[in-house]
């Protein structure tokens, strides 16, 4: 009798242990896949057991899956911080490269605009018996409105800052299908009181008909009125980016015997400007003197200042004109 009771107790104890073991066993987790709109069970496995019911394992927190029975592991704070750190590192590595790519694209866009202006300039000469388009100063531009471009810009609220009609009324506009975007460098962010300005480019003052300003500033150099008068078209520039603090009319002029900047070329493209030449080619040139690469802002290059050292000044002077022959 005692033996039967012992066996009975042993059986009950074994059943209780089995039940306890079953309850503590991690639930089975199913693996599923979708096929033709149906959810198909592909396998069953056991999830790793948590340290305690509702608790966390040493490697992370356990939460119940909303997609079915079983437990799944969540992220710990340390793991989240590691992921955030990796993302920040990748951003730090990629952002400068993206910025460089954007600047390069803007430089290419600027060169394309200068090329279109240069082509229109050449077509004008072809259609006008080799005569070059007018290249007037401020007063004559405002008075006659017969220039290659008819706007005059400032930092205030002048009409020429924002009025696109001052571009489309210019003599080159019909040869550009009256497009206005080509008059501005994509990197030019200059902002007048009445809005973003509409032109970034100016023309070499010794190329074209300057009207009342003929031989006013550089009588020792040749003024080119016709395309055939330019002895080496590949060496004489026509259009260039002008610094936003010196641009006003479309007449880029310096007194080349004085070694002082009055009109300053821009340096939008990593310290460089785009220039077109009388043969139609376009090139970028990086200014080597730090003082030439002044900030593109109001007051960045106001007034005149000595070109010292004269490296950049000489480079541009040599591509502006040729000495006038002695009488």
What is the domain count for the chain? 2
Q: Same structural domain for residues 215 and 250?
A: yes
Q: Same structural domain for residues 117 and 253?
A: yes
Among 42, 60, 94, the domain-final residue is 94
Residue 245, token pair as written in the block: 């603090």
List the Cα angle 223/119/321 in 5-degree steps.
20
Are the beta carbons of 56 and 62 closer than 8 angstroms? yes
Among 66, 94, 122, the domain-final residue is 94
Q: Same structural domain for residues 244 and 146?
A: yes
Residues of the chain with pLDDT under 70: 1-74, 97, 99-101
301 in a structural domain: yes
In this prediction, residue 294 carries a pLDDT of: 96
Helix (H), strand (E) at residue 73: strand 71-73
Neighbours of 272 (CB within 10 A): 19
Distance (Å, rounded) from C-alpha 7 to C-alpha 15? 12
8 in a structural domain: no
Q: Same structural domain for residues 140 and 74?
A: no
Are the beta carbons of 203 and 275 closer than 8 angstroms? no
157 in a structural domain: yes
Contacts of 228 (CB under 8 A, 6+ apart): 130
Q: Give residue 276's domain range.
A: 106-317
Distance (Å, rounded) from C-alpha 148 to C-alpha 209? 10
In this prediction, residue 58 carries a pLDDT of: 44
Q: Which of 249, 223, 225, 228 is nearest to 320 (CA)?
A: 223
Residue 57, token pair as written in the block: 């394992």
Model confidence, pTM: 0.72
Q: Same structural domain for residues 181 and 285?
A: yes
Q: Same structural domain for residues 195 and 246?
A: yes
Distance (Å, rounded) from C-alpha 266 to C-alpha 294? 8
Distance (Å, rounded) from C-alpha 5 to C-alpha 185? 101
Task: Report the SS3 class of residue 29.
Answer: strand
In this prediction, residue 38 carries a pLDDT of: 45
263 in a structural domain: yes
Residue 44, token pair as written in the block: 């069953």
Distance (Å, rounded) from C-alpha 202 to C-alpha 108? 18
In this prediction, residue 75 carries a pLDDT of: 74
Are the beta carbons of 277 and 238 closer than 8 angstroms? yes
294 in a structural domain: yes
pLDDT digits (tens, 9 = 90+) for 59-95: 444 445 555 555 556 678 888 888 898 888 888 877 7
1 in a structural domain: no
């Amino acid at each position: 009798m005692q033996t039967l009771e012992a066996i009975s107790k042993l059986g009950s104890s074994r059943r209780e242990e089995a039940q306890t073991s079953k309850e503590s066993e991690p639930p089975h987790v199913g693996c599923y896949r979708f096929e033709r709109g149906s959810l198909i069970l592909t396998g069953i496995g056991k999830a790793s057991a948590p340290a305690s019911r509702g608790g966390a394992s040493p490697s992370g927190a356990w939460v119940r899956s909303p997609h079915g029975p079983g437990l799944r592991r969540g992220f710990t704070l340390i793991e989240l911080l590691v992921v955030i750190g990796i993302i920040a590192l990748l951003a730090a590595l990629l952002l400068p490269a993206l910025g460089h790519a954007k600047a390069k694209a803007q430089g290419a866009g600027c060169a394309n605009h200068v090329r279109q202006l240069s082509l229109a300039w050449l077509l004008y000469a072809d259609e006008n018996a080799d005569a070059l388009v007018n290249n007037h100063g401020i007063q004559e531009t405002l008075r006659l409105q017969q220039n290659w471009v008819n706007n005059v810009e400032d930092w205030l609220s002048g009409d020429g800052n924002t009025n696109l009609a001052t571009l489309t009324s210019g003599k080159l506009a019909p040869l550009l299908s009256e497009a206005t975007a080509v008059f501005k460098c994509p990197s030019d962010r200059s902002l007048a009181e009445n809005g973003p300005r509409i032109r970034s480019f100016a023309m070499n003052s010794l190329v074209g008909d300057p009207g009342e300003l003929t031989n006013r500033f550089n009588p020792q150099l040749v003024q080119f009125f016709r395309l055939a008068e330019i002895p080496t078209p590949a060496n004489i520039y026509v259009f260039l980016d002008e610094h936003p603090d010196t641009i006003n009319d479309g007449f880029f002029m310096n007194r080349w015997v004085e070694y002082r900047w009055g009109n300053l070329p821009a340096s939008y493209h990593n310290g460089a400007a785009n220039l077109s030449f009388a043969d139609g080619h376009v090139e970028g040139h990086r200014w080597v003197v730090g003082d030439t690469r002044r900030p593109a802002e109001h007051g960045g290059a106001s007034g005149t200042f000595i070109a010292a050292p004269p490296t950049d000044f000489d480079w541009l002077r040599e591509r502006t004109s040729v000495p006038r022959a002695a009488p």
